[in-house]
Amino acid sequence: MSPLPPPLDLVPPPVLLAFAFVWGAVWGSFLNVVIVRWPGSIVSPGSRCTSCGASIRAYDNIPILSYLLLRGRCRACKARFSGRYAVVELLTASLSVALVQLTIVGGLGPLGARVGTYVSLFAFTCALVAISFIDLERRLIPDVISIPGTLVGLLFAAVLPRPGLAQAALGAAGGYLLVWLVFNRGWQALRGRPGMMMGDAKLLAMVGAFLGWKGALFSLLCGSVLGSIAGVVTAVRARKEGGGSGPGVMLTQVPFGPFLALGALTHVFFGARVIAWYLSLGEVVS
């Protein structure tokens, strides 16, 4: 673990990571609002129980803790809340901790660049979490997140050393065009239906804006592998449950957004190691 630069060297790493966890949990609570209310307003009305309509008080809206204390139920009517609320908060908090460890505690370079990289990647991560859960529930990737997210990624790239504005712009444009030309238009011409939708193209553009063209390509390849595995598992399960083997079962739709997001996060945390491992296979074969 590399030493923290001043003034962060005055803060013990466990304290910094604990703050990152709380910070991430708070934003996870906000993401829950975005996920539940999209495409409606996230400002009003206030949080209420969907079963009895009772307002949720501030002390019952503490991320993670309130869910545990109330055992996932409404204080007023005891109706059960979705476990997704706690999952999103815990996931965002955990990713915040991992990003602080990666960029600030264990990162290299000037403090400003470390903090800026954390802020950039955390904003990127929050967008991926929101998009993934919305796509899982509604089979849609909201433009209101992916398009502004692409612009934000380009702005960060203009002031941060990595990936650099040129790489980010190439990643955004290349990611969009790759999905649109090959996996949407090209696939439709060959198979009569698009392999990927335009929401996926806009999401990959956002990935490229934050991670550059190499990150966009890595995310697409990794997400495709993970999505293919999930698709096969889903199709096999559907066959067993339905007792059939028709072509409709093999065309079971699996939302690709979460897998593309998982591929992007894999690149953020393990991309260099995965690429080094892959290249080492070629050396072994040769």
Instruction: Give the tens place of pLDDT for each residue, 65-98.
Output: 999 999 889 888 988 989 999 999 999 999 999 9
Residue 106 scores a pLDDT above 90:
no
**Cα(22)–Cα(97) distance, rounded to whole angstroms?**
9
pTM over 0.85: yes
- In this structure, the answer to whether residues 64 and 167 fall within a common structural domain is no
Residue 245 scores a pLDDT above 80:
no
**Cα(172)–Cα(166) distance, rounded to whole angstroms?**
10
- In this structure, the answer to whether residues 191 and 90 fall within a common structural domain is no
Mean pLDDT of the chain: 87
Between the alpha carbon of residue 104 and those of residues 11, 16, 28, 142, 199, the distances in Å are 12, 10, 21, 31, 33
Q: Which residue has the higher pLDDT, 24 or 58?
A: 24
Domain for residue 16, yes or no? yes
Domain for residue 104, yes or no? no
- In this structure, the answer to whether residues 130 and 173 fall within a common structural domain is yes
Q: Which residue has the higher pLDDT, 107 or 172?
A: 172
Q: Which of 64, 98, 132 lies at the terminal end of a domain, its last residue?
A: 98
Q: Which of 98, 122, 148 lies at the terminal end of a domain, its last residue?
A: 98
> Contact, 24 vs 32, CB < 8 A?
no
Residues 273-286 have pLDDT tens digits of: 887 777 777 665 55
Domain span at 56: 1-98
**Total structural domains in the chain?**
2
Burial-class residue 59 by CB neighbours within 10 Å (0-12, 13-18, 19+). Answer: exposed
Q: Which of 98, 125, 158 lies at the terminal end of a domain, its last residue?
A: 98
**Cα(286)–Cα(280) distance, rounded to whole angstroms?**
10
**Cα(174)–Cα(201) distance, rounded to whole angstroms?**
10
What pLDDT is recorded for position 283? 61
> Contact, 85 vs 67, CB < 8 A?
yes
- In this structure, the answer to whether residues 174 and 213 fall within a common structural domain is yes
Which residue(s) pair with 48 in the sheet? Answer: 55
267 confidence band (pLDDT: 50, 70, 90): very high
- In this structure, the answer to whether residues 255 and 210 fall within a common structural domain is yes
